[in-house]
């Protein structure tokens, strides 16, 4: 297990390097001159040249990358073109609201999704199954922005039970995390059910039942572990969906998080902020993927010892 872990950790380094190169090249793929972008549309040619020298954009590409990489390691991502504040401060202010929103959504959607999935598989073809799967297929079919607008219209505008926008108290988290987690809960429910139904039909489950084990032990011990393998993969993929979805949900609920920061940055072509955010999002994903791989090896020993 230790060598498996080490191998996976070392495997991260090239990935991080590729991401860093892509993010670095991103600025040079933008249409137009990055120096002019940074200097602003009204700057005269002398100012643009000054900015170019200031940002090191007059150096050869490889030298620029070394500079960029070195500053990145120190957590220096430059200044936002829009607010003139340090990008690290901009991102730092917005980090917690998004992290909490994502975790809240993931937590409830995994619990509900797996619960519904297991119940549907165990009570296959009975009413809990049909109810659960109807909910699930509706959940993956309803776009987050429409769901957010609908929930806000009902619970905030019509009933006045919950606040509409902002992230000041725990009550502000209810609607956005329901909106963000709905699709994930639905996908988890469907995958858990599919995986469980397959495992329940296996011979070893029949054996476990035949030797007189309690049905709860059969389901929770014998089935769950085997059914979890595809479910864990799905969970890793769903984290991607959550962070992507947060961009939309944060826009609907005017949430002071990273997603809205990114939308604003793209709209305003604030490229230092875009770079920092893409790096941060990528890093989070790599960590999640690593966790999934480790869990995978943990749950299914045949893959670990390959």
Judged by the rule CB under 8 A, the positions of this chain that interact with other proteins are 11, 14-15, 18-19, 22, 26, 29-31, 124-125, 129-130, 133-134, 137-138, 140-146, 149-150, 153, 157, 183, 187, 194, 198, 201, 229-230, 233, 237, 240-241, 243-245, 247-248, 251, 262-263, 266-267, 269, 271, 274, 278, 281-283, 285-286, 289, 302-303, 306
Which neighbouring-strand residues pair with 86? Answer: 79
Whichever of 46 and 141 has its CB closer to other proteins, that residue is: 141
| DSSP letter string, 109-142 | HHHHHHHHHHHHHHTTTSHHHHHHHHHHHHHHHS
110 vs 144, beta carbon nearer other proteins:
144
N- to C-terminal Cα separation, the chain: 11
Q: Which is nearer to other proteins, 32 or 45 (CB)?
A: 32
Q: Of the two residues 47 and 285, which places its CB atom closer to other proteins in the complex?
A: 285
Closest distance between other proteins and the C-beta of residue 65, in Å?
17
Helix (H) or strand (E) holding 255: none
In the complex, least distance from residue 87 CB atom to other proteins, rounded to whole angstroms: 16
CA distances in angstroms from 105 to 50, 74, 169, 173, listed in the order given = 46, 32, 16, 9
> 30 or 217: whose CB is closer to other proteins?
30
Tell me, letter by letter, the H, E, C secondary structure of 51-91.
HHHHCCCCCCHHHHHHHHHHHHHCCCCCECCCCCCEHHHHH
Minimum separation from the CB atom of position 98 to other proteins (A): 13
Q: How far is the CB of 81 from other proteins (least distance, A)?
A: 13
DSSP label of 165: S
């Amino acid at each position: 297990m230790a060598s498996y872990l080490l191998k996976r950790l070392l495997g991260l380094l090239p990935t991080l390097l590729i991401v860093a190169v892509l993010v670095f090249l991103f600025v040079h793929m933008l249409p137009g001159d990055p120096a002019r972008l940074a200097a602003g549309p009204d700057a005269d040619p002398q100012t643009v040249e000054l900015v170019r020298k200031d940002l090191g954009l007059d150096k050869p590409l490889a030298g620029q990358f070394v500079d960029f990489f070195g500053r990145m390691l120190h957590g220096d991502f430059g200044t936002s073109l829009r607010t003139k504040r340090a990008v690290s401060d901009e991102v730092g202010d917005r980090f917690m609201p998004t992290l909490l929103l994502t975790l809240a959504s993931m937590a409830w959607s995994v619990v509900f999704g797996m619960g519904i999935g297991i119940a549907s598989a165990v009570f296959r073809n009975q009413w809990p199954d049909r109810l659960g799967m109807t909910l699930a297929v509706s959940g993956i079919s309803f776009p987050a922005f429409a769901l957010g607008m609908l929930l806000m219209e009902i619970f905030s505008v019509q009933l006045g039970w919950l606040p509409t926008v902002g992230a000041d108290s725990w009550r502000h988290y209810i609607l956005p995390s329901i909106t963000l987690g709905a699709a994930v809960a639905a996908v988890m429910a469907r995958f858990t059910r599919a995986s469980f139904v397959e495992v329940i039909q296996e011979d070893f489950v029949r054996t476990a039942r035949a030797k007189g084990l309690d049905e709860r032990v059969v389901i929770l011990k014998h089935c769950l572990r085997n059914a979890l393998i595809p479910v864990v993969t799905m969970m890793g993929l769903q984290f991607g969906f959550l962070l992507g979805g947060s961009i939309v949900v944060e826009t609907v609920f005017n949430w002071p998080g990273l997603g809205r920061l990114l939308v604003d940055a793209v709209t305003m072509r604030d490229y230092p902020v875009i770079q920092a955010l893409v790096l941060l999002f990528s890093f989070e994903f790599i960590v999640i993927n690593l966790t999934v791989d480790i869990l995978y090896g943990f749950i299914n020993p045949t893959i670990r010892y390959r």
